[in-house]
Amino acid sequence: MLRYLTAGESHGPALTAIVEGMPAGLEITTEYINKQLARRQMGYGRGGRMRIEEDQVTFFSGVRNSKTLGSPITLMISNRDWENWKAYMHAETAAVESRRVHVPRPGHGDLAGSIKYGHSDMRNVLERASARETAARVAACSVARRLIEHFGMVVESHVVQIGSIQAAESSYEERQQHVPSSPLFCADPTAEEAMMKAIDQAKENGDSLGGVFEIIIHHVPAGLGSHVHWDRRLDSRLAGALMSIQAIKGVEVGLGFQAAATPGSRVHDEIHYDGKRLYRPTNRAGGIEAGISNGENIVLRAAMKPIATLYRPLPSVDLDTMQSARATVERSDICAVPAAAVVGEAVVAFEIARAFLEKFGGDNLQELDERLKIYRRQVQE
């Protein structure tokens, strides 16, 4: 079974990840992963940490001569900011009191985590709860992304909303033209200008902004996932992967919530036959029916709440004195929706790869190639 684990604190020496279950023979390079890591650091509204870090991955196992071996893959990303924090985050001799956090931030994991694990210093929570962890996820999941790309699948994302400002609907061609060079990964230049002004205003106000991003996975073969058990449904797994990203509060598939207010005749996708293959002229289901991919593009949207750290902090309680106090301020972004979209691409790619391997099996790439060819002949894709 394909799976991964990450480890590491935001200001610790490094982030690490282990990927298990990747078939042998897949070509993968640090350059490929580093490009995804660089994308994660981009986006208008990011904070000072992105000017410190320049994320680069190192393989420690599972890859030889730029090919996977079939054994567990170990990856590491060094934290450059560790030099500024090692006195406070050292595993054995940390100066804990110097950076102890005892006033929780509303909307963050500070308070809930400290209650659960019995910490009097909430730094022990926030260091791991931080979205810095997603760098390790992007690295790990990029290996899976490379796998599905080998089989012709393409993952893309774009920002469709920042705050209350929504982008116009866009075509694949428009996204290819605008998104790669866009500061907000948005395909609508007019909306993007308004979004950037809103981010600037939020920064001036000491506030933060959330938004919505959309992910499209092209050329996914029909038959991934299953209807027979709840934990095998592809839409459930993809939604869970997106909801696992820090600050994500909602996920839609296809029409999503709009389907609840629309008659069935305008929700369900008609099925036609052109003499060679079955097809659907619309894709309101978002490429998934009954928990199974149906051969159309998979379309997902995720809603990200505003970041919990505010430079004009909200009222909270000092847990040392139980008196009212302003929340702790940690270095943070104003808006990280574009970065979250890149993380979303990564975790979605991993779930697609996992479902793909469950469907086709195989310990090496050659076996997978042959099994997919046979399957496509059978279903006439």
pLDDT of residue 50: 59
Helix (H), strand (E) at residue 178: helix 172-178
Per-run averaged pLDDT (10 residues), the chain, 381 residues: 96 97 98 97 78 87 98 97 94 94 95 97 96 97 98 98 97 95 96 97 96 98 96 97 98 97 96 90 97 97 95 95 93 92 98 98 95 86 51
- Tell me how far apart the alpha carbons of residues 238 and 250 are, in angstroms, rounded to a whole number: 12
**pTM for this model (two decimals):** 0.95
265-306 per-position pLDDT tens digit = 999 999 999 988 888 999 999 999 999 999 999 999 999 999
Which CATH number applies to 3-379? 3.60.150.10
Q: Which DSSP state fits 175?
A: H
Domain ranges of the chain: 3-379
Q: What is the pLDDT of residue 278?
A: 87
pLDDT of residue 379: 79
Bridge partners, residue 57, by sequence: 77
The values of phi and psi at residue 218, to 5°, are -95, 150
pLDDT at 51: 62
pLDDT at residue number 45: 86
Instruction: Supply the pLDDT for residue 122.
Output: 96
For 104-116, how does the pLDDT look when each residue is reduced to its tens digit (9 = 90+)?
A: 999 999 999 999 9
Q: Which two tokens stand for residue 165?
A: 């400002």
Q: Is the Cβ–Cβ distance between 299 and 283 less than 8 Å?
A: yes
Would you say 325 and 367 are in contact if contact means Cβ atoms under 8 Å apart? no
